[in-house]
Amino acid sequence: MQLTVDTPKNKPTFSRTNPFQAKVLKNVNLNGAGSNKETRHIELSLKGSGLTYNPGDALGVFPENDPELVSALLAEMKWDPEMPVTISKQGYTLPLKEALTTHFEITLLTKKILQQAAELTENEELKKLTLPENVNLLKEYIYGRDLLDLLHDFGPWNAGAQEIVSLLRKMPPRLYSIASSLNAHPEEVHLTIGAVRYSSHGRNRKGVCSVQCAERTKEGDTLPVFVQPNKHFHLPESHETDIIMVGPGTGIAPFRSFIEERAVNKASGRTWLFFGDQHAATDFLYKEELEQYQKDGVLTRLDTAFSRDSEQKVYVQHKMLENSKELYTWLENGACFYVCGDKEHMAKDVHNALIDVIEKEGAMSREEAESFVNSLQKEGRYQRDVY
C-alpha cells in the first residue's frame, strides 16, 4: 500500500480564480469621534494559505453587494428571490437573490448595459438616450447611478430576471494596497480602507467593498482574497537608499508596509513621510505608530498637512514646497520618491510640486526639471501607486 504525502504540489494554490477565505482578526476605525471620515484598519489571517507578498503589492478582495440594495431590486421588479438564474456560459445557476448578492455587479452602469436594456423595454426615453448623437447625455445619466435607478426609471420591462441579469458583468474584485510587512506580521495581511458613502440622484450610495468592511464585516468573519503583485511599486533593493513617501489619507497604506519592512531589516537608508488628511485631532492615521518609528529612528522625517485645521487649506504638495531645499538634496543623493493615493487631484499636484522643487533648487528651466523627473521615472526612482 502506497501512502500519499501531502506535498505542496497537492495543496490548492490560491489566486484570483481560487481566492483564499481569510479570517478577519481585527477591524477597527482609525478615525476619531467627530471625523467626517471612516477609515478601517483590517487585519486578516493568511494561515494555511501559502500566500506571500512584498511591500508595495495589493490584496484583491471579492465583495458582496449590500443586502438592502438587493432587496430593493427584488421589490422593484417583484422578482422571486429563490428563482434559479444562469450565471455562466457553462450553465451554472444560483438562486436570484444569491446571484445578485455575490456574483453580479449591480452598482455601476455602462453604455453597453443601457444599449442592451433599451431592447427590453418600450420606453422611448431610454431608446432616445442610447442614440449615437446622445452619447454625452448617456454618460451623464450613467454617472452616479446603478441598476436600481435604471430599472426604476425606464420600465415597464418586457423581460424576466434572467434577461436582466444577463446584461450584468461579473463582480470584479477590489484591489487595496497592502498596509503591512509580512516579515513584521508573519501569516497576516493588513489593509487600510476608507468607507465610501455619498448621495446622488436622491439616494444614498455606498462603496460596495469599503462599506461591507465598515458595516458588515466582523472579527471572525472571512473575506475571499488573493495577492496581486505590483512590480512597479516596491522598496529599493539596497537598504541604504533613502526613500521619500507621499501618502495622504488611505495613501498611507503601502508606506506603513515600507516602514515596517525597513524596521525589521534595520535598514540604514533614511525615510521621509509626507502625510495629510482633514484634521490632526481625528484623521491622523497610525499616529502613535508613526511617532514611535520616529523615536526609534526608523522614520527620519514626518511632515504632515491637515487641510481643515487652518484658514488656508494646506496639502502634502505645500509641505513638499516648504521643504524644497532638503527634498532636492535627498533626490540629488539618490533617494527614491513614492506617491500613493488619489490619481485625479493629489497625484497630479504632487507631480507638479516635484517639478517645481527641482526647477527651483536645481536652478533649471521647466523643461530641464521635467526631463529630470522623467529620468527619475525611467530609473525606477519615482514610483506611483495611484487610483
- Contact criterion met (CB below 8 Å) for 227 and 52: yes
> Quick check: 6 pLDDT over 60?
no
**372: closest CA among 385, 355, 360, 384?**
355
Q: Quick one: which of 333, 323, 336, 346 has its CA closest to 250?
A: 346
CA angle 177, 276, 312 (to 5 degrees): 150
* For residue 1, pLDDT beyond 70: no
pLDDT score at 12: 74
* Average pLDDT estimate for 325-354: 97
What is the amino acid identity at position 124? Answer: E
Instruction: Sort strands 336-341 and 382-386 into parallel, antiparallel or unpaired.
Output: parallel
**Beta-bridge partners for 138:** none
The answer regarding whether domain 243-386 maps to CATH 3.40.50.80 reads: yes
- Residue 378, pLDDT above cutoff 90: yes
CB environment 295-317: b (16+ within 10 A), e (fewer)? eeebbbeebbbbbeeeeeebbbb
Q: Nine-digit cell at 113? A: 448595459
Residue 166 reports pLDDT greater than 70: yes
Beta-carbon contacts of residue 227 (< 8 Å; ≥ 6 apart)? 51, 52, 53, 57, 58, 59, 60, 189
Name residue, grid cell 455562466. Answer: 88
Thinking of the domain 67-165, which architecture would CATH place it in?
A: Up-down Bundle (1.20)
d(CA 91, CA 85): 9
Closest CA to 290 of 272, 310, 277, 315: 272
171-193: per-residue pLDDT in tens? 999 999 999 999 999 999 999 99
Mean of pLDDT values over 305-325? 97
Q: In the block, which residue shows the cell 438562486?
A: 95
Shared fold status for 20-63+173-228 and 67-165: no
How far is residue 252's CA from residue 293's CA, in Å, rounded to a whole number? 14
Average pLDDT of 13-29? 97
The pLDDT tens digits for 23-55 are 999 999 999 999 999 999 999 999 999 999 999
Structure pTM? 0.94
Q: Quick: pLDDT tens for 242-257.
A: 999 999 999 999 999 9
CATH of 20-63+173-228, one of 1.10.3720.10, 3.40.50.20, 2.40.30.10, 3.40.1160.10: 2.40.30.10
Percent of the chain clearing pLDDT 70 (strictly above): 97
Over residues 190-219, mean pLDDT: 97
Q: What pLDDT was estimated at residue 10?
A: 60
Compute the average pLDDT of residues 224-248. 98
Q: What are the residue ranges spanned by the domains of the chain?
A: 20-63+173-228, 67-165, 243-386
Residue 3 has pLDDT above 90, yes or no: no
User: Of all residues in the chain, what percent carry a pLDDT higher than 90?
Assistant: 97
Average pLDDT over residues 315-342: 98
Residue 4 has pLDDT above 50, yes or no: no
Other C-beta atoms closer than 10 Å to the C-beta of 347 total 20
Res 78 pLDDT > 80? yes
